[in-house]
Structure 1
Amino acid sequence: MEIETRKQLHVISTGKQSVEELVKISKSIYPYLDMLHLREKQWTGKEMAVAIDRLVKAGVPLTKLCVNDRADIAFMKHVRGVQLGHQSADISLVKSAFPSLKIGASVHSLEEAQLAMDKGADYLLYGNVYATSSKPGKTAVGVASLVNLVQSIPVPTIAIGGITPNRIREIMQTGARGVAVLSGIFLSKDPIDSARSYYKELHKEVR
């Protein structure tokens, strides 16, 4: 299914685990995910390509893989998409060069979201919605800000930052399309149980 049409659970690698750990965990949790983001800033292009091969060999579908920043690697390895941030190449340039990729944009304000939409982003990652250990000291944007963005920007928005299973109901009531999780799954004592918990809460009916 297209990313625009269903509730989404995105899981983002933490940069704190070996390739072996990453592959082992991903193999067990991927049935519950819609997108697995490889956010490994220290990896070379070669290391990223090898990791993708290992994930695919372990059974993770290419259609569930997203590479952060490296649109060239994402394209060459035929993964689903690329996630772009402020340090990345311009969204419109990437979209023009690699039209087959789903392009996500990481944004932190309504202004950034508007610009990303104008340049052709397929979806947005917005946050951090709550305070999070992943970004110590960074003020949370808050749920009200998420509501404002969702109501103002028609591009599907995935909420990120400090999201636990018991906060998913609140997030989904804003009109966001889904949630993105880092340490809550990959650094959990039981990643598969955590992935199930997020999935279960995400797919409950919002009343």
Structure 2
Amino acid sequence: MELHAVTNDTLPVRELIKQIKDIASEVDFIHIRERSKAAGELVHLVKQLLAEGVPKEKLIINDRVDVALLTNIHRVHLPGHSFSPKELRQKFPHLHAGVSVHSIEEARAAEKNGAEYVMFGHVYDTACKPGLQARGIKVVEEMTSTLSIPVVVIGGITPERLPELMHVDLKGIAVMSGIFAHPQPRKMAQTFSKKRKENPYEQAL
């Protein structure tokens, strides 16, 4: 099961670089999701990360295709309201694109439009989505059985909830505040990484 860390747009560039460097070896992918930062800041951020040794293959640029192109990053993640991945690859065949979805209908549409994977949320209650009801594990199970492309889930995921998720045919989990809002991001990334490698069937016995 892949572990995706998603930045939460609360840190200045210098601190964000430090945190990403600290967790890079513990996660499979790092989503740069910094909506309040200007394009120039994001380009600087990505270039600094690469210069500091963060593997290019682990970086995914959220929404900002221009930043991905300028920094030669080949993975992007699109919000559900964005253009289709199929259109994107017609212009830029080297790009890989996933799409955020919030329902099975949106996931089916994303698959039809050429998404290589979908990120579905929020699965559990989370402070990031106050007042919005969690969509729950049953919807995740239905989605994974319906789609032919991989599913990554996000929203309120904690290490304690991983055994339940590991019984579902998921490609991966994505964690935002659980890592980047924690006082010790590296320690939390290590905890998630260790937990996902445990055998869920042994835990069920």
Q: Which consecutive residues of structure 2, in runs of 5 or more, have no partner in the other structure? A: none
Match of 2:153 in 1: 159
Q: Is the 8 A contact 1:159 1:171 kept in 2?
A: no
Pair 1:197–1:159, CA change in 2 (3 A): same
The counterpart of 1:13, out of the listed 7, 17, 33, is 7
Identity %: 35
Aligned alpha-carbon RMSD (Å)? 1.1
Match of 2:67 in 1: 73
Amino acid paired to 1:155: I
C-alpha separation in 2, matches of 1:98 and 1:202? 34
Q: Could you list the per-position Cα deviations for residues 48-87 of structure 1 after superposition, in whole angstroms to 9, with x for gaps in the alignment?
A: 1111011112211111101111112212312241110133
Q: Which consecutive residues of structure 1, in runs of 5 or more, have no partner in the other structure? A: 1-6
Match of 2:132 in 1: 138
C-alpha separation in 2, matches of 1:101 and 1:120? 12
Q: Is the 8 A contact 2:13 2:41 kept in 1?
A: no
TM-score, structure 2 normalization: 0.94
The counterpart of 1:64, out of the listed 58, 63, 66, is 58
Local SS of the residue matching 2:119: strand
Find out whether 1:23 has 2:17 as its counterpart. yes
Q: CA deviation at 1:89?
A: 2.3
Matches for 1:85-104 after TM superposition, within 5 Å:
85-104=79-98
Local SS of the residue matching 1:179: strand
Q: Is the 8 A contact 2:101 2:120 kept in 1?
A: yes
Return structure 1 stretches of 4+ with deviation > 4 angstroms: none
Find out whether 1:37 has 2:31 as its counterpart. yes
C-alpha separation in 2, matches of 1:174 and 1:13? 25
TM-score, structure 1 normalization: 0.94
Local SS of the residue matching 2:35: coil
Q: CA deviation at 1:201?
A: 1.0
Q: Is the 8 A contact 1:168 1:202 kept in 2?
A: yes
